[in-house]
Amino acid sequence: MKFFIDTANVELIRSYYELGIIDGVTTNPSLVSKEDGSFDDIIKEISSFVDGPISAEVIATDTIGMISQAEELAAINRNIVVKIPMTKEGIKAVNALSKKSIKTNVTLVFSPAQALLAAKVGAAYVSPFIGRLDDIGHHGMELIEQIRAIYDNYQFATEIIVASIRHPSHVIEAALNGADVATVPPEVIEKLFNHPLTDIGLAKFLEDWKLRFG
Ligand code: G3P
């Protein structure tokens, strides 16, 4: 399973990218609005060192506007994947962009039917938001199981990005359910490294070594 980092913070992206565990980046308008600098500059800077898919989202909500913004974003770098919201206008835009070989990531997906529509028009990625489903009392991960089954039934090439990840168990369940990608916020990536027995075990090894060899 690929790991994308879900943030627009360039320094955080850089620090985790240097570890060799990050395959790509996802941003959204809320994440970008937390950072200094223009949207274009942030995306250009990320593209200068990340060699992998970088999702950047359109703000337009009409098909023509989405296509025009998508073309501008795609021109920034060959790794740009244009994030398009899951609406009727959005699906029309994805259909047109697929024909122009511009990669898209259909976002704000909350049902298997929406994921099916995105795949039918050739989206490169689909982003089901599982944490937000959990927040309203659903079991978000069931959506991943359903989309995986549907895509496998018909050999859709659209990759499933598990988004809106809140904790390490979401990452593990995403992998168990055959998701192609988990896009993980930095604070959750940090938690993936940790286990108290690792810390206790390392302290003991070093203590024993010190006792014997000084
Ligand atoms: O990038 C989209 C998604 O991961 C948003 O997550 O935490 O705002 O639901 P969240």
What is the tens place of the pLDDT at every residue in 186-208? 999 999 999 999 999 999 999 99
pLDDT value of residue 91: 98
> Is the CB of residue 69 below 6 angstroms from any atom belonging to ligand 1?
no
Contact assessment for residue 22 and residue 184, using Cβ atoms and an 8 Å cutoff? no
Cβ(10) – ligand 1 distance below 6 Å:
no
DSSP-assigned beta bridge partners for residue 6? 26
Contacts of 58 (CB under 8 A, 6+ apart): 65, 66, 69, 70, 73, 82, 83, 84, 85, 93
**Max CA distance (Å), the chain:** 72
pTM, two decimal places? 0.97
Domains of the chain: residue spans and CATH: 2-213 (3.20.20.70)
| Tokens, residue 36 | 């200094």
83 is catalytic: yes
Backbone φ, ψ for residue 103 (5° rounding): -75, 140
- Ligand 1: residue whose CA is nearest its atom 9: 164
How far, in Å, from the CA of 206 to the mean position of ligand 1? 40
Nearest residue (by CA) to ligand 1, atom 10, is 164
Cβ of 28 less than 6 Å from ligand 1: yes
168-187 pLDDT, tens digit each = 999 999 999 999 999 999 99
Minimal-distance CA residue to ligand 1 atom 5: 164
Residue nearest atom 6 of ligand 1, based on CA coordinates: 164
Ligand 1 centre distance from Cα of residue 115 (Å): 17
Q: Kindly give the parts of the chain with pLDDT less than 50.
A: none
Half-sphere exposure of 190 (CA within 13 A, CB side): 6
Whether ligand 1 lies within 6 angstroms of the CB of 131 is answered as yes
The answer to whether the CB of 129 is under 6 A from ligand 1 is yes
